[in-house]
Structure formats: C-alpha cells, structure tokens
Amino acid sequence: MEINNRTVRIIQLPKVYPLREMWMMREENFDLQLKENEFIVKNEIIFLDDRTLEYLKKESSKILNKVMFAITFGKVLESRNVNYVKNDIVIGNGGVQDYCITDEKKFNIVDNDSYSWDEDECSIGIHNFHNVLMKLYNDKKKSKLVLKI
C-alpha cells in the first residue's frame, strides 16, 4: 500500500514567534512496509494547545526537520504490534501530519465517542495549520483548538 503523507515540519528556529517561515508542509510518499511492533495511525483530528506552543519555545536544533508536535485522535489502519489492532481508535502524539507510523506506546486506545469538539469551532484541513496556531497564540483565553484533517 502506498501512502501520501502531508506533514508540517519545523525548518527554522523561531526568532520572532511564530512566523509562517518557521515550518513547511511537505508531501512524502512511501510504500507501507511495517516493521515488527510498528502500527500506522490515520490522524483524523489534530489538537493544538499549550503543549504545541511549548514545543516551539524549546528553540533547540533537536526540533529542526521534525514533524510538528501535536496530540491527535485517529484510527489504526494496520498493525504489527500486539497492543494495537486494525480499527482501534487511539489518541496520542501523532504530530501534524496525515499518518503516523510508530512502535512506541505513546497512544491510548479510546472509545470513538471519548472526545467531543464543537464542529463550528473546528478548522478543516492540514493546510490551515498556521492560521489555527496563530489563533491559539493570539487568544490567551483559548486553551485548545481543533484541526480536522
């Protein structure tokens, strides 16, 4: 199975925070060949919150060229990990991207109805990442914003 994965990666350390030039959206195509203990999650919802902002403030070269940190809600598409099976609904650090392949135990299995959000407050599309992040950064009353892929 071939996967087309859109990711948001940090390409520049912040000098003035946050600038659109700090990250870039990249499309990465790869043939899905899961290794032992790996599983793939199709992210459906990306939660941007204070942890996302803190990640950017690290100002460390360790975050350069990495997928932008974000908690995600999604579905396991395929698994070679005994802890996760196809169609499990999971929440964890999936990052700002369409798909996350991992072997780590950074996802929790949840009920499909475990998390709710106001559809009217939800921005649609990963291409709106910068606008949603700016809204979070500028409105200190907002504790969490939702980006639906």
Position 5 scores a pLDDT of 92
Q: How many CB atoms lie within 10 A of CB 15?
A: 9
Q: How far is residue 70's CA from residue 2's CA, in Å, rounded to a whole number?
A: 24
Q: What does the pLDDT look like over 51-82, one tens digit per residue?
A: 777 777 766 778 888 898 889 999 999 999 99
Predicted TM-score (pTM) above 0.75: yes
Q: Residue 80 — φ and ψ, nearest 5°? A: -120, 25
Range of the domain at 76: 2-148
Counted domains in the chain: 1
Which residues, 6 or more positions from 57, have their beta carbon under 8 angstroms from its beta carbon?
A: 14, 17
Across-strand partners of 8? 25
Position 118 scores a pLDDT of 66
Position 63 scores a pLDDT of 82
How far lies 111's CA from each of 4, 88, 115, in Å?
27, 9, 8
Positions in the chain whose pLDDT score sits under 50: none
Position 40 scores a pLDDT of 93
The angle that helices 129-138 and 50-57 make with each other, rounded to 10 degrees, is: 100
Domain at 82, CATH number: 3.90.180.10
Q: How far is residue 73's CA from residue 110's CA, in Å, rounded to a whole number?
A: 9
Position 19 scores a pLDDT of 77
